[in-house]
Amino acid sequence: MHTNRRDFIKKSAAATAAIGITSSFPTLRAGILGANEKLVCGVIGVKGMGFADLKAFLGQPNTACAALCDVDENVLQQRISDVKKIQGKAPKGYKDFRELLEHKGLDVIIIGTPDHWHTIPFVYAAQEGFNIYCEKPLANSIEECNIMERAAARYKSVVQIGQWQRSDRHWQDAIAYVHSGKLGKIRTVRAWSYQGWMGSVPVVPDSPVPEGVDYDFWLGPAPKKPFNKNRFHFTFRWFWDYAGGMMTDWGVHIVDYALFGMQRYAPKSVMSLGGKFAYPDDACETPDTQQALYEFDDFTLLWDHGIGIDGGYYGRSHGVGFVGNDGTLVVDRGGWEVIPEPKGGNPTLEKVDLIRGDGKGLENHMVNFIDAIKTGAKLNCPIEIAAGVAKTCHLGNVAYKTGRRLYWDDANSKFINDAEANSYLVPEYRKPWTIPAV
């Protein structure tokens, strides 16, 4: 039974700690769990990042995939074939995630669904005692983030969220430099994503549901809408029913490191402006241009995104800039550097030329997740971190929707004296689905 397997792994990890064994992965895989003992996963949502996460999982020793779930039969059959090529054995396919959770012998559940479909499978998987790897952003609303946090804490699941830059070594090194204090007082942080390759999404008419797609299940708790290919694979992220646009797509990755560097996760206030300025007549609902300004006690954080152009700060299409009195550190997926302040700063601060990354963030992130399951190692992106980042991004979107400065009461998870803003905190689920009570 899958519960017994998970209990065995946890007991093995506890025994390892008790007898003082501190060796790393190879010894654990070959010795503590036995040469043939595997971590076995099931994946819910396998079109895009769900499959990328699965490949990263299967790239580690002593792993296997026994089950896949997708509401698109075409995607499901393709991924069953793909996994068979990777591991030599085909996983079983499901169209209902609840049936996958009953599959015997699973230890890990990977959730790669659209944002609006994270919370329910996550809570169900946590209740069953599974270890969970869930794609970012954590959820599509602030209350869903709170629910998932409570579920992870109550059911004591090992949970890693897919903000894989947390495991990318050059990002970690950049933040270590920020924390060293060498930049002097940091007064503002710039976080941005300008993505020229994305472009416009042309309006197309509604159409019949493609053969093999359970579209009603795909909608799930979201409002009933006619099928339109723009609302489906990939471009779902530009529609409020399912996601939060660039603010929660790239924003979660980049704002994550802005908050990590400043070691703060709850702003006092937020305001946001933007709109569909580049493509006013295309199919997207979320803004193609947006700025969100967050107030903290002693610094500000600016989020800035633009779709269809690459004109970001410091000559980079995306990144984080920590602006200190003595210099600025700039980091993106390519690497990091330090630019000394030319006037009035610390003249002893040395320029740091670009230090490039190795592009192994997702691989490292999955290694960290597996290590946490087997040895109790510290997770690089536990759910409380992911929840704080996702909620910060959602705050920016709520401010955009209301068009005014909002004041946030983090302790009570609500806006101060603003009923309209608070109306965005909790989604209304379409029957028969209900928000999980945890």
* Rg of the chain (C-alpha set): 22
Q: Has residue 429 been placed in a domain?
A: no
Q: Compute CA distances 385 → 4, 25, 129, 255, 379, whole Å.
A: 29, 25, 21, 12, 10
- In this prediction the pTM is 0.91
Do 351 and 379 lie in one domain? The reply is: no
Do 383 and 410 lie in one domain? The reply is: no
The one-letter code for the residue type at 215 is Y
Instruction: Provide the 10 A C-beta neighbour count for residue 57.
Output: 22
Express each pLDDT in 289-301 by its tens digit: 999 999 999 999 9
Q: Which residues on neighbouring strands pair with residue 131, listed in sequence order?
A: 108
Q: Is 90 exposed, middle or buried (0-12, 13-18, 19+ CB in 10 A)?
A: middle
CATH number for the domain spanning 241: value is 3.30.360.10
Q: Has residue 427 been placed in a domain?
A: no
Express each pLDDT in 106-133 by its tens digit: 999 999 999 999 999 999 999 999 999 9
Q: Has residue 437 been placed in a domain?
A: no
Instruction: Provide the 10 A C-beta neighbour count for residue 435.
Output: 17
The rounded distance, in Å, linking the Cα atoms of 72 and 75 is: 5
CATH number for the domain spanning 156: value is 3.40.50.720
Do 330 and 352 lie in one domain? The reply is: yes
The rounded distance, in Å, linking the Cα atoms of 56 and 199 is: 29
User: What is the tally of structural domains in the chain?
Assistant: 2
Do 280 and 197 lie in one domain? The reply is: yes
Q: Has residue 382 been placed in a domain?
A: yes
Do 315 and 375 lie in one domain? The reply is: no
Do 410 and 266 lie in one domain? The reply is: yes
Structural element, H or E, at residue 324: strand 318-324
Look at residue 201 and give its three-state secondary structure: coil
Contact, 186 vs 323, CB < 8 A?
yes
Express each pLDDT in 27-54 by its tens digit: 232 223 433 479 999 999 999 999 999 9
Do 91 and 12 lie in one domain? The reply is: yes
Q: Has residue 332 been placed in a domain?
A: yes
Confidence of residue 251 (pLDDT cuts 50, 70, 90): very high
The mean predicted confidence, pLDDT, of the chain is 92
Do 189 and 322 lie in one domain? The reply is: yes
Look at residue 353 and give its three-state secondary structure: strand
Q: Has residue 348 been placed in a domain?
A: yes
Express each pLDDT in 348-390 by its tens digit: 799 999 999 999 999 999 999 999 999 999 999 999 999 999 9
Q: Compute CA distances 103 → 67, 74, 134, whole Å.
A: 7, 21, 19
Express each pLDDT in 142-176 by its tens digit: 999 999 999 999 999 999 999 999 999 999 999 99
Domain that holds residue 375: 2-166+365-387
Helix axes 73-87, 49-58, angle to 10 degrees: 20
The rounded distance, in Å, linking the Cα atoms of 104 and 3 is: 9
Q: Has residue 352 been placed in a domain?
A: yes
Q: Compute CA distances 339 → 174, 331, 343, 350, 374, whole Å.
A: 13, 11, 12, 8, 41
Do 223 and 147 lie in one domain? The reply is: no
Do 202 and 64 lie in one domain? The reply is: no
The rounded distance, in Å, linking the Cα atoms of 77 and 222 is: 25
Do 50 and 178 lie in one domain? The reply is: no
Confidence of residue 343 (pLDDT cuts 50, 70, 90): confident
Do 285 and 268 lie in one domain? The reply is: yes
Q: Which two tokens stand for residue 264?
A: 């703060």
Q: Has residue 393 been placed in a domain?
A: no
